Amino acid sequence: MRRLCLFAFGLTLVVVVLGAYTRLTDAGLGCPDWPGCYGFNYVPGSAQDHATAAQRFPDSPLEVTKARNEMVHRYAAGTLGCTILLMALWSLRTSLRAYRGFAWGLLALVCGQATLGMLTVTLNLLPFVVMGHLLGGFTILALLFLLLCKTRPPRMPYRGAGLGGWFLLALGALLLQIALGGWTASNYAAMACLELPVCQGDWVSQWQWSAFHPHGVPAQSYQYGVLSQDERVTIHAAHRLWAMVTAGVLLILAWRLWQQPALRRWGSWLALGVLMQLALGVANVVLHLPLAVAVAHNAGAALLLLIMTGTGERLWRASTNPVPVHGLVAAIHRN
C-alpha cells in the first residue's frame, strides 16, 4: 500500500506541474470538448483529423501544440484517478479502517477534481472554477503526502513545544497566498505589474474590490482574461503584498522549528523553500514571466505546502501520541 501511495503521490506532483504548464501555455481550451479532444480520444494529427475537427468545432480552430499539452495533462490525470481507485479497492483487503477511509476520501476528491476539470472546459475557463481546480490538485497532493508521512517509520521522539498556534497561522497564510496565486493566474494578471517593488506607480488609487468577485464579468470565454487593467493590477498587488506577510510568518515558524532538534530539518527546508519562492516570484516580474520560471513558481508553492503538511503531521503526532505507534507502521508495511 505504501508503494502504491508513493506512486500516486509522484504522479500527482507530475499532474500539478503539467496543469501549471497547460495553463501557462494558454492550452486550457486546447481541446474545446471533454474528455476527448475534438471528438477524438487522442490528439488529432492527420490531415483528415484536422478536417474532421474543423467540421465538428468550426469556431475553435485546432492548434496541435495546445491540444497536445491539454491531452497529456488529461492522460496523466486519468492515470492518477485509476491509481487512486486501485488504492481504494486495495484498502478493502486490509483491516486498517483509517487507511480505508483515507483512500475512499481521496477517490471522492478525485471525482470532484474531474468534475472541475470538465467545468473548466465547458465554462470556458471561468476563473473561479480554474482556481478551484488548482486548489483541488494541491489538496490531493498534500493528502497523499500526509498519508505517506503517517505510514513512515518512527523518527526522533518529539513532545511538542507550543508550536500549534504558529503552525495554524502559517498554514492559513500559505493557503490564502496559494489561492491568490491561482486567482492571479486564472485572471491573467501575472503581467499586470512590471515594476519592483511598486506596481504601476500609484496602484493604491487603482484598487478595485470587484477584482475578487467570484463570478467575474459574464463572457462567452474567459481565456486571456476579461477584467479591466485596474482590476488585474489589484489582484497582482494583493498577491505581492500577501506574499510578504506569508513569507514573514513562514520564516518565523521556520526559526521556531529550527530551535527544536527533532524539527530542525523541517525548519531548514521551510526557510529554503520560502527564499526560493520569493526569488522565483521576483524573477517572474523582472524576466517578464518566462515559462520555465513560472512553472517552477507553481511547483514551489506545492513544495511549501508539502513541507507544511509534513511539519503539521509531526506536530499532530506529538500532541496526540507522544510515543510512536509501531504497530500501525508495521501493519502498513506488511500490506
Catalytic residues: 70
Helix 164-186 with 229-258: angle, nearest 10 deg: 150
- Alpha carbon 157 to its chain's center: 31
| Distance from C-alpha of 235 to C-alpha of 113, rounded to nearest angstrom | 25
Report whether 8 contacts 83 (CB < 8 A): yes
Which residues 6+ apart lie within 8 Å of 211 measured at CB?
187, 227, 230, 231, 232, 234, 235, 238
**Residue type present at position 130:** V
Q: State the cell numbers at 38.
A: 475534438
| Distance from C-alpha of 313 to C-alpha of 170, rounded to nearest angstrom | 14
Report whether 232 contacts 187 (CB < 8 A): yes
Closest CA to 63 of 201, 223, 180, 184: 223
Report whether 231 contacts 238 (CB < 8 A): no
Report whether 22 contacts 28 (CB < 8 A): yes
> What is the Cα Rg of the chain in Å?
22
Helices (H), the chain: 2-24, 47-56, 64-91, 97-122, 127-150, 164-186, 229-258, 264-286, 291-320, 326-334
* Torsion region of 216: left, alpha or beta (phi above 0 gives left; psi -120 to 50 gives alpha): left
| Distance from C-alpha of 41 to C-alpha of 148, rounded to nearest angstrom | 34
